[in-house]
Amino acid sequence: MDRVWLITGASRGLGCEIARAALDAGETVAATARSADAAREALGGEHGRLHVLPLDITDAVAANAVAAETIKRVGAIDVLVNNAGYAELGYFETFSDAAVRRQFEVNLFGTMNVARAVAPHMRARRSGLIVTISSVSGLVSNAGGAVYSASKFAVEGWMEGFAQELAPLGVRSLLVEPGMLRTDFMDRKSANFGSIDTPDYAEAITQYRAFVNEANGNQPGDPRQLAARIVTLASQSEVPSRLVFGDDARQWASAKVDQLRQEIARSADR
């Protein structure tokens, strides 16, 4: 079955790999990115099954226009992949208020903009799948990831409820929670670090940045494998509500579940 995919953040990283996997499966793809030229270059140029459109997801008007243009060109949107985002990596007190708000503006509100633009079309057709690229950091937070995790925790809470609102209307949802993937997500193209000097955290921040630098390019997760998994799931009649991808993600998520169980037990009335 030839489906139409609308994918955000498709010029590089996981979004680009999902676009390639969908195209390889014979699907039609509307690939969006802030730079349409970068997306065209990454995906080898437009053709009959590939349409490239510029989109800054923080612009709600533009998101509506892209959804409308996609439907005009190819008739429908069967799968939305809300992938675009970036990371503020570092200790909370080293970030300005503007930086924190920007993290939410992109990762949460931008993602909401695109979902708002596409959901009415899917509801009208009583069909569709919304794939939201979250992170295991949407389930587990740690030192150095508080701001990024906060945005992904918010995405998780929103989509968990929104999915239940959409399900009776025939629209399915998949939250994807990868561990560390071998993409450029941890370099300066996708990640920012705090700018406020806070001496109490100096040593810890130095160690954290060394960890990020060492991990960048050496992450255990294969984005191509995840992209293929998402395309396969999209073709199935039953889709799980969550996909926790990677051994590291499953270990962290399992440890969080165990911790919650213990804390729930200790919270019981005596």
Domain boundary assignment for the chain: 4-267
Mean pLDDT over 225-245 rounds to: 96
CA distance 73 to 198: 52
* Fold (CATH) for 4-267: Rossmann fold (3.40.50)
Listed in sequence order, the residues at least 6 apart from 73 whose beta carbon sits closer than 8 Å to its beta carbon are 30, 51
The pTM is what?
Answer: 0.92
What pLDDT band is residue 212 in, cutting at 50, 70 and 90? confident
| Per-residue pLDDT reduced to its tens digit, 77-134 | 999 999 999 999 999 999 999 999 999 999 999 999 999 999 999 999 999 999 999 9
Give the model's pLDDT for residue 206.
86
Which of these is catalytic: 11, 91, 135, 148? 148
Return the higher-pLDDT residue of 260 and 185.
260
Which of these is catalytic: 11, 91, 134, 201? 134
Check whether 197 has a pLDDT greater than 90: no
Which of these is catalytic: 135, 137, 151, 152? 152
pLDDT averaged over the chain? 93
Q: With contact defined as beta carbons under 8 Å apart, do 55 and 30 qualify?
A: no
Q: With contact defined as beta carbons under 8 Å apart, do 43 and 20 qualify?
A: yes
Q: With contact defined as beta carbons under 8 Å apart, do 193 and 89 qualify?
A: yes
Check whether 217 has a pLDDT greater than 80: no
Active site residue 148: yes
Check whether 264 has a pLDDT greater than 80: yes
Active site residue 134: yes
CA distance 49 to 261: 48
